Structure 1
């Protein structure tokens, strides 16, 4: 179907029924309209479901590759050491004077990696470390600020922080309620301001990734806080939003006969195009684990875009349609006539999630995604791809968590 949903059944309804069945409770499946908000959220239900975590635990325990190679990549990362000590700040600044946001993203990735380490190995020292990082920040952080880049900080680090907390839900001593208050009071207002007002700029001024990280944060906060309105805000923007993060604007041109589609930032550079694969991929995976198939929405529009970005970064040619948009506050016209080769061929940990979804789950032919994923396997995470912020735009470890 063009919108990615079965005409009669909702994955969310099936997931709810399956979860109850796994818990040993007999249920009659509740079939909801595909567009309905979740009656209850599935937990864990962001980037990693209970099934993902169990598969990784079993396969690593059995010493099987590629999971074992992915695990070894995780435990070799300094951020995954249970000795990591948090450095919480009351104010995080990205952009302008006094930037300190690197402190935040390093601590987030340490919390996430230690949470994964615990979930897969049962190492309670790692769990204690992750818990202590999350608790320290929720007790301290009050403000995310800076120039316009503050919106990137609230977006990227919002969804990543929420994912770390989701893995720690229910762990002894983790103050989930206080963490939820931080996400609702510090991150969400900045997210909502951007998605609503776009920093008072022309609606097309900001690149797709600005919307996407904001949408991902709002979706993750919705799941973490069992807030259907926020979850639906993100899903609805993905489908119909006026900014460049909505699917038809993030992927403006489709080359159906070639199985490709042009990504909105392709004429800018390839580093940001790869970032877009990770940001939209995070949205799609979180929605999938709550019963919404955005991966296939609009005739697999995102899959075609991922094939396009992968194909070009493998060194192959792709079509390019002149891209024109409005900039600044007055929507002054800007135009790109050719695809950008800047940053072409770099490796980022965004591909295994897409490969193991489109091929592993759906058995779709994705030759370019398959080829580029193979070059980066086993995928690492924050700290494995340089020390600047770009190396922390994705949580990573897709080989460990998504291989099927």
Structure 2
């Protein structure tokens, strides 16, 4: 080989080596090559398990189904109340369509579950009627709570749409519904809100991921996963984080005093504490619910994030159910904080106790005492039915 050939070969080798190190690695949680459907929090295998348990009158699924069927969300006489513009201020004040939208979305999901379990097409038809009414009407969300309202509603819409589209199928306006998700809902949630309380951004990412799966949008999937992977460590503390909790990237929260203020004036940090614990357990529960729902969806899609966030979620569940049962110690939140975690524990507990065989005595006792868990009327619904002791 000539000298020039050797130089060319050497140069090619160096360039190849540089490209190898410079090229970004494909993240382990990148969007799947093929999306699984239905695939937003509940899979076909999970639905089949539930249907079998309900039809066998097994508990707690039978009671959970009966609770759902008796709720207003499962009514075949329900009339949707769509609006072109939903306006939601702080704590839904003003409330111009906020409650109507959230509850219609939960109803669409409820009816989709009833369709699958009973195979009665009337329930699928009613779910479609509700989704069609909104997709034909809504154009925008306004006022300060618009991102959160959008997230709450989209979290339910996407679960309903996945079940109906992929197990019932006779839905002529499904494309219009997908356009609604992309143009009305996605812009409000996809970029997150780093400087808000954590439950906001976590629910926004749950909604974004659901939209990504339904639309098979890999870019949106990967963006949601990226934000989620930094937000969970900024919401649940572990001692490995150091003396202070992590903060959301881009939030501008970086001094000790800013962090303590952001954590609602809690200055003693222990494993499982949440950024919103000292606000109240209810808002903490919203965040826990979205963390579990997000991880459940990634598991269904074959890009399981439970191994990455599992210690935080499991510890947070144990921490908060312990103090739900025992009361608040003096070092936590000054000894006084409003409890009421809500119906949010089944999904995480199922992952750790049923699938992994990990003992969670406080979480299991607290959860089982309150079964069946229903809906919080925002975006959480029927977790006992779908996830209690469900190995699928």
- 1:3-402 aligned at under 5 Å gives the runs 34-95=28-89, 97=94, 99-146=96-143, 148-170=144-166, 171-193=169-191, 195=192, 198=193, 203-204=194-195, 206-240=196-230, 246-254=231-239, 260-298=271-309, 300-316=311-327, 338=333, 341-344=336-339, 346=340, 348-381=342-375, 391-402=376-387
Once the 2 structures are TM-superposed, how far is the Cα of residue 97 of structure 1 from its aligned partner? 4.5
Distance in 2 of aligned mates of 1:298 and 1:54: 27
CA contact (8 A) 1:267 1:340 kept: no
Write out per-residue CA displacement over residues 174-204 of structure 1, whole angstroms, 9 at most, x where no aligned residue.
Answer: 52211110000001111135x2xx4xxxx44
Deviation at 1:33, TM superposition (A): 6.9
Q: Which string of whole-angstrom CA distances, capped at 9 and with x for unpartnered residues, describes residues 24-58 of structure 1? A: xxxxxxxx973332111000111110111101111
Structure 1 moving runs of 4+ over 6 Å: none
- Partners of 2:146 and 2:304 lie apart in 1 by 30
Q: Deviations along 1:107-166, whole A, 9 cap, x unmatched?
A: 1111111111001111111111001101111111111111x2111111111222111111
Residues 306 and 347 from structure 1, CA distance in 2 versus in 1: closer, same or farther, beyond 3 angstroms? closer
1:18 is aligned to none
Structure 1 residues 354, 88: CA separation in 2 closer, same or farther (over 3 Å shift)?
same
Looking at structure 2, the residues matched to 317 and 296 of structure 1 have their Cα atoms a distance apart, in angstroms, of 30
Question: RMSD value over aligned CA atoms?
Answer: 2.3
Stretches of structure 1 lacking an aligned partner (at least 5 in a row):
1-31, 241-245, 321-336, 382-390
Residues 222 and 361 of structure 1, relative CA distance in 2, 3 Å threshold = same
- Secondary structure, counterpart of 1:93 in structure 2: strand
- Distance (Å, rounded) in 1 between the aligned partners of 2:388 and 2:94: 42
CA distance in 1, matches of 2:70, 2:335: 34
Task: Tell me what 2:266 maps to.
Answer: none
Q: Report the Cα offset of residue 396 of structure 1.
A: 2.0
**For 2:330 and 2:210, how far apart are their aligned partners in 1?**
34
Assess if the C-alpha contact under 8 Å between 1:311 and 1:318 holds in 2.
Answer: no
CA spacing shift, 1:251–1:98, aligned 2, 3 Å: closer
CA distance in structure 1 between the aligned counterparts of 2:56 and 2:336, rounded to whole angstroms: 43
1:266 deviation in Å?
A: 0.8
* Equivalent residues, number: 332
Q: TM-score normalised to the size of structure 1?
A: 0.77
- Matches of 1:318 and 1:117, distance apart in 2: 43
Aligned equivalents of 2:368, 2:145: Cα separation in 1? 33
Gap change, CA 1:174 and 1:63, over 3 Å in 2: farther
State which drifts further: 259-268 or 370-379: 259-268
Work out the CA distance in 1 between the residues paired with 2:297 and 2:174: 19
